A and B are shown apart, each in its own frame.
Chain A
Amino acid sequence: MVGNLFKCTCQFAQEGVFLCYSGPTSHEILVSTGNTLKQFLKNNNVCKKKYYCIFSIYVEMFENIIRYGVDCFPSGANETCQRYPYGILSASTDGEKITIQSGNIIALEQGNKLNQYLNTIHSMNPQAIRDFYREKRKNKCAPDCKGAGLGLIEIVRKSSQPIKYSFKNIDETFLFYTLTAVI
C-alpha cells in the first residue's frame, strides 16, 4: 500500500498535480479543498480573471459529483442517511495553464444522456456558449435536474480550450466518467 501511494505521489509530481482529493464528496469538502486551491492560486499570483474561472470550474465539477454521482460508501440501510458520492478531483499546472479534472461513477443511462449533451456543447464558440447559457438561465429546469442545469455550460464557458470527457465501463450498470478543463 505504501508503495502504491509513493507511486501515485511520484506520478502526480511528474504531472504537476498540486491538489488531489479522492473519496466521499460533500459540500464541506468542496469548501475546504476549494480554499486550498484558492490559496495556491493566490500564492502563485494568478490574475483575478483566471483565479475566478479556475475556482468556478472546480466548484461546478465538485457540485456535479455531489448531485449526480453514485454513492459508493453507503453508510446504512436507512434512506434518510446523508449521501456521499465518490469522486476524485485534481488540479495541476504546467507552469502556465491550470488543468482541473474530475472523475466519478454514474449509472449507464445517465452516461448516455450526458455524452450526447457534452457532444453538443463542448466545442461551442465563446459567443454561442454565452447565448446558450442565457437561454438556459431563462428557462425552467428539466425535471431530472438538481441544480440550475447550468454547471456544464459554465465549465465550457470558463475554460480556455474545449473540454475533454470520457466514459469507461465499470460493469453492466456503472460508468466511470471523467471531465477535463484547461484554463
Chain B
Amino acid sequence: MNNLEIPKTKTSPEIKFNISTHELSIKGESFPENTSEFYAPVFEWLEEYLASVTDQTIIVNIELMYFNSSSSKVLMDLFDMLEESVKEGKNITVHWRYDEENEMAVEYGEDFMEDIVSLPFHLVKI
C-alpha cells in the first residue's frame, strides 16, 4: 500500500497520509466543488489502511483554517470511521490544531470533541 498525497488547491486542503510514520494530516481550507467526490479517495485509502494496521500509534493532525458545511459533515463521517476503529482496538489520536485568533476553529473543535466518545481528541494550539 502507498502513502496518500493530495496537493492543496484553492478550495481543498493538502492531504498527506504516511504509512511508515502512521501520521495522517489534513491541512488548509476545504470547500471543494463536490465534497463527497473530493473526499471519496481519502475514505477508500483509509479503509484499506485501517484494515492493515494493528497496534501502531496513529496520529491524525487536522489543521483547517476554514471548512464549509459540507466538509463539516465529511469530517464527522471521518471521525465516526476512526472511532469505529478505536472500538476495534486500534490506537488512534486526533489532534485538532487551531490558531488561537480564529475562535471559530476552537469552537468547531470543541463541538467535534463533544460529539465523539471513544476517539481520543485533543485541541492543540499552533
Contacts and interface: CB of A to CB of B under 8 A. Distances in A.
Interface of A: 27, 31, 35, 47-49, 52-53, 55-56, 59-60, 63, 130, 133-134, 137-138, 147-148, 150-151, 153-154, 158
B59 interface: no
User: DSSP majority for the A interface?
Assistant: helix
A183 to B, nearest CB: 11
B10 interface: yes
User: DSSP majority for the B interface?
Assistant: helix
Contacts of B102: 48-49, 52
A60 B101 contact: no
Contacts of B114: 134
Given A63-B68, A134-B115, A150-B73, A158 B10 contact: no
Interface of B: 10-11, 31, 33, 35, 65-66, 68-70, 72-73, 76, 99, 101-105, 107, 111, 114-115
Contact of A59 (B65, B68, B115): B68
B69 A151 contact: yes
Contacts of A53: 104
A137 B76 contact: yes
A56 B76 CA distance: 18
Q: Of residues B69, B70, B105, which shows the largest number of chain A Cβ atoms within 10 Å of its Cβ?
A: B69
Given A52-B104, A133-B111, A147-B70, 13 more contacts: A47-B101, A48-B101, A49-B104, A55-B66, A59-B68, A63-B31, A63-B68, A63-B70, A134-B114, A138-B76, A148-B73, A150-B72, A151-B69
A10 to B, nearest CB: 34
A147 B31 CA distance: 12
Contact of A48 (B68, B69, B99): B99
A50 to B, nearest CB: 10
7 contacts: A35-B10, A48-B99, A150-B69, A150-B70, A150-B73, A151-B69, A154-B69
B100 to A, nearest CB: 9
B54 to A, nearest CB: 30
A60 B99 contact: no
A60 B72 CA distance: 12
A148 B111 contact: no
Contact of A60 (B10, B65, B68): B68
Contact of A31 (B11, B66, B73, B99): B11
Contact of A137 (B68, B72, B101, B104): B72
